[in-house]
Structure 1
Amino acid sequence: MQNSLQQTFGNIDIYLFDQLLKGRFDSCKTVLDAGCGGGRNLVYFLQNGYEVYGVDQSAEAVEEVKRLSAMLSPQNKLDNFSVAGVEDMPFANDVFDLVICSAVLHFAQNKQHFDSMVRSLWRVLKPGGYLFARLASDIGIENLVQNVGNGRYLLPDGSERFLVNEQMLLGYTSALNGLLYEPIKTTNVQNLRCMTTWCLQKQ
């Protein structure tokens, strides 16, 4: 059973898996993973007839996801994957049914960089499409993080990240005229760091 699950879903983000189980993305056809890494969140999509795209700043990661795509979905075009930053993706407006951005946005250098990444993700998403984002936040550990300026914080686990809070995410949701298709959820990892799931539908 374990091998079968691993083969079907790979090392998928558990909250993305939750959305698949709920059938949220059943009507989607085109999927972009923005900051795809080696493709850990794309195994299911590649094996189930989706047209899959990915960008990452690491050339090595892009080569790795190309190998994964060739193995799992030979018909999926390898030039769907390219080296690019989330804020500067080589796609037209309104082209993807689903945009995944998992554990990427908290690497924003400052507030302006974060804003440009979020608006880039929104730009390439079709009306009616879904944005699935997971990112670090201070929700639940507000008194344990140290502000180092321009949206970045030192976390108890020793890392430095760009952090959001619920007010900020709700502000963007409103500014983008988005709809939360899932409540904002945060996982607290023993008060060392917090990861928040932000799920928006484009109206």
Structure 2
Amino acid sequence: MGIMTDSYYQKRLQKSHSKILETAIAHNQSGCQVAIDCGCGVGNDARYLLSQGYEVHAFDNDARAIKQCREATSDQVNLHLYETSFENFQYPEAGLIIANSALFFCPKQHFNNVWKQIENALKPKGIFCGDLLGVEDDTNHPRNPNPTQFLTKEQLHEMLSNFEIIGIKERKGLQPTMTGREKYWHAFTVIAQKRASHLRSEY
């Protein structure tokens, strides 16, 4: 991983929100205007959600990213920021949960429990929008000191069994990371709506 400099965070602040977020918002039929931004970084998506009338709970375990986000949103009373990790965050009920390029950093030993918490926090007809890594990703090797959960297509569909899938986009190939290092990616971008009949999972 490259070194995160101040200029890196400033450049991230200048970027727009994830365009897929617009589709996710359009499909939120839960009646709930509360969103959770998992791994929010400097808050580009959180700021867009605020502009669309959402109350936003956003977290990241990167202290400098949270500091930049807090400074950029100091006048936003509907934004709640937390410096914490996926496994330690307390997930409130929400109509929209996003994890754009974020679940990559959820440790493998916590992934299943974190997913159950996300699923339980999401209200019926609410939307999950996020990215997950596939088994062919080049970080899926025994020497990775911080392994996450890598998924086959079949495992992904099983994970989303309580959702109506709005869209899944699979991508494979060499592309740069956020720090500029080129790597071979295998990732899935998901938009899915929680079924109205789904009961809470036990964890």
Q: Greater helix percent: which structure?
A: 1
What SS is found at the alignment partner of 1:184?
strand
Q: Distance in 2 between matches of 1:146 and 1:82?
A: 28
CA contact (8 A) 1:183 1:199 kept: yes
Residue identity matched to 2:54: Y
- TM-score if structure 1 supplies the norm length? 0.71
CA positional deviation for 1:69 = 2.4
- TM-score if structure 2 supplies the norm length? 0.71
- Aligned residue runs from structure 1 range 1-203, under 5 A: 10-20=15-25, 23-25=26-28, 28-71=32-75, 74-77=76-79, 80-92=80-92, 95-110=93-108, 112-138=109-135, 142=136, 145=138, 147-149=140-142, 162-174=149-161, 177-180=162-165, 182-190=166-174, 192-203=184-195
Greater shift, 188-197 or 35-44, is seen at: 188-197
What SS is found at the alignment partner of 1:46?
helix
Structure 2 segments unaligned to the other structure (5+ residues): 1-13, 176-183, 196-203
Greater shift, 190-199 or 49-58, is seen at: 190-199
What is the percentage of aligned positions where both structures have the same residue?
A: 24
What SS is found at the alignment partner of 1:201?
strand
Q: Distance in 2 between matches of 1:189 and 1:43?
A: 30
CA positional deviation for 1:136 = 2.3
Distance 1:28 1:122, change over 3 A: same
- If asked which structure has higher relative contact order (CA below 8 Å, sep 6+), I would say 2
CA contact (8 A) 1:15 1:197 kept: no
Q: Distance in 1 between matches of 2:47 and 2:81?
A: 14
Distance 1:186 1:113, change over 3 A: same
CA positional deviation for 1:194 = 2.5
Q: Distance in 1 between matches of 2:19 and 2:134?
A: 18
CA positional deviation for 1:10 = 4.7
CA contact (8 A) 1:86 1:120 kept: no
Q: Distance in 2 between matches of 1:189 and 1:160?
A: 20
What SS is found at the alignment partner of 2:141?
strand
Q: Distance in 1 between matches of 2:168 and 2:88?
A: 26
1:33-66 per-residue CA deviation (whole Å, 9 max, x = no partner) reads: 0111111222321223211110111222222222
Distance 1:68 1:189, change over 3 A: farther
Alignment RMSD: 3.0
Q: Distance in 2 between matches of 1:168 and 1:36?
A: 26
